[in-house]
Amino acid sequence: MSDTVALIQARMSSSRLPGKVLADLGGLPMICFMAERVRRAPGIDLVAVLTSDDPSDDPLAAAAEAHGVPVVRGPLNDVLARYVVGADAFDARTILRLTGDCPLIDPALIAQVVALHRSAGVDYASNIDPPGFADGMDTECFTRNLLDRADRLAVSGPEREHVTLWMRAPESGASRANLTAAVPASHLRLTVDYPDDLALVRRIAGALGDECDYFDILRLLQQDASLLEANRHDRNEALKS
């Protein structure tokens, strides 16, 4: 049994930027660049990529496995069911939900959400409920029991696709805690949904290296105003698959 497992959900068939998870970032496929950062987070027992069993995701699975990242595959369109498959694969008691379009995610923030989940003794903890950090730092942590309840009771298409919608709804009855941002920055985009997002993330990684933290990034964005003009899109609030 693994206590806390980080499952990075990813797929090749993104509607806005197909194949983005294998785009080069710092000399690695983006999904592997992200997995390396997640592996540095204290309190995580195992990091795996959670993709679909559709043939379109074969290259993604092969890239992750070649980099030594375990891969679990499940339904393409029922992402909630995919998380159940992932939790089953590692007999996880606590699941960390991350999305593969957040390659600059900060290991320290991941660790803080996990620590909050444990110290508060809640069913669900995150830094997105409500959002306070830049889009691209999204981290959610929940119990296996809550995942199983969601799998039984979440029935709408959006609830199955976006995994935690039902968990965060009042009718779930789940106890929740949220990590508050010291510097409100939810208007900033550090996620990758569009080509200009990818260009910005590459500029940041090129300037700061692969071990930069969240505050390194905020300082860089403050120092170079041109970076903030690079990708003006709406926040996605972790509704990603």
Report the alpha-carbon distance of residue 232 to residue 197 in Å, rounded.
Answer: 9
Residue 3 Cα distances to 33, 56, 195, 208, 217, angstroms: 24, 31, 37, 33, 31
CATH assignment of the domain containing 192: 3.90.550.10
Q: Please check whether residue 113 lies inside any domain of the structure.
A: yes
Q: Please check whether residue 81 lies inside any domain of the structure.
A: yes
Total of domains in the chain: 1
pLDDT in tens, 50-105: 999 999 999 999 999 999 999 999 999 999 999 999 999 999 999 999 999 999 99
pLDDT in tens, 166-200: 999 999 999 999 999 999 999 999 999 999 999 99
Report the alpha-carbon distance of residue 234 to residue 218 in Å, rounded.
Answer: 19
Q: Please check whether residue 27 lies inside any domain of the structure.
A: yes
Q: Please check whether residue 203 lies inside any domain of the structure.
A: yes
Q: Exposed, middle or buried, 3 (CB in 10 Å: 0-12/13-18/19+)?
A: middle
Q: Please check whether residue 7 lies inside any domain of the structure.
A: yes
pTM of the complete model beyond 0.85:
yes
Contacts with 55 (C-beta within 8 Å, 6 or more apart), sequence order: none
On average, the pLDDT of the chain sits at 93
Q: Please check whether residue 180 lies inside any domain of the structure.
A: yes
**Residue 240: predicted pLDDT:** 42
pLDDT in tens, 143-160: 999 999 999 999 999 999
Which domain range does residue 121 map to?
Answer: 2-228
Q: Please check whether residue 88 lies inside any domain of the structure.
A: yes
